[in-house]
Amino acid sequence: MLQKAIVEDKRDHPSREWIEALRRDYPTEAEFDRMLTRKMLRRMEPSRPGRYSMPELDQALRRFLDAKLQGPYEISDMRWLMGGASKIQLAFTLDWSEAGVAQHQRLVMRMEPEESLNSTSRLREQQIFTFFRDILPVPKVFWLDEDGTWLPQAAIIYEWLPGVSTPSRKERRVAGIGQSFPPELRQKLGPQFLEALVRIHTADYRQGDLSAFQVPAENSTESALLHLNRVLRIWEEDRGFEFPVFDLAVSWLRHNLPVLDRPSILHGDFRAGNFLFDEATGQITAWLDFERGYIGDRHRDLAWTTLSSYGNLAEDGKTFLVSGLVPLDEFLSSYERLSGLSIDPARLKYYRVFNSLQNVLAALASAWRVVRLGKTHQDVLVAMLEGIGHAQADEICCLLEEDF
Partner 1 sequence: MPNTLGNTLQACVRGLEQMIVPAIDPDNPLALEQAALIARTIRFTIARLPHVVARSRQEMRLYQEMAEDLVSDMAAVAPAELPALQDEIARADALWHDPHAGLERIDACAEELAARIAALVRSCRDDDSAAARRIECAVLRHSPAINRLNRSWHVLSGFETRPEEIPPLPSLFPRCE
- Which positions lie near partner 1, rule CB under 8 A? 1-5, 79-82, 173-174, 177-178, 241-248, 250-251, 254, 308-309, 311-313, 377-378, 380-381, 383-388, 390-391, 393-394, 397, 400-401, 404
Nearer to partner 1, 23 or 173 (CB): 173
CB 301 within 8 A of CB 266: yes
CB of 34 to partner 1, least distance (A): 28
Distance of closest approach, residue 151 Cβ to partner 1, in angstroms: 17
Query: What distance separates the 2 farthest-apart alpha carbons in the chain?
Result: 69
Q: Phi and psi at residue 218, in whole multiples of 5°?
A: -75, 160
Least Å distance, CB 365 to partner 1, is: 13
C-alpha torsion sign, points 208, 214, 220, 223 = negative
Provide the residue count of the chain: 404
Element (H, E) at 302: helix 298-305
DSSP codes joined into one string, 99-123: TTEEEEEEEEEEE--SS-SS---HH
Cα separation, 117 vs 112, whole angstroms: 10
Least separation in angstroms between residue 378's CB and partner 1 is 6
Residue with Cβ nearer partner 1 (265 or 388): 388
Q: How far is the CB of 108 from partner 1 (least distance, A)?
A: 14
- Smaller CB separation from partner 1, 31 or 112: 112
Residue 99 beta carbon to partner 1: minimum distance, rounded to whole angstroms: 34
Q: Is the CB of 139 or the CB of 178 nearer to partner 1? A: 178
Separation in Å, CA 21 to CA 9, 14, 26, 142, 384: 17, 11, 9, 37, 32
Give the residue from 227, 221, 403, 371 showing the smallest Cα distance to 304. Answer: 227
When the beta carbons of 65 and 384 are compared against partner 1, the nearer one is 384
Nearer to partner 1 (CB atom), residue 164 or residue 313: 313
| Shortest CB 59 distance to partner 1, Å | 18
- Which of 93/202 has CB closer to partner 1? 93
In the bound state with partner 1, the residue whose beta carbon lies nearer, of 323 and 334, is 323
Please list the alpha-helical segments (H only) found in 69-168: 122-131
Q: Which residues of 149-184 are buried (b: 16+ CB within 10 A; e: fewer)?
A: ebbbbbbbbbebbebebbbeeeeebbbbbbbbbeee
Min dist CB 174 to partner 1, Å, is 7
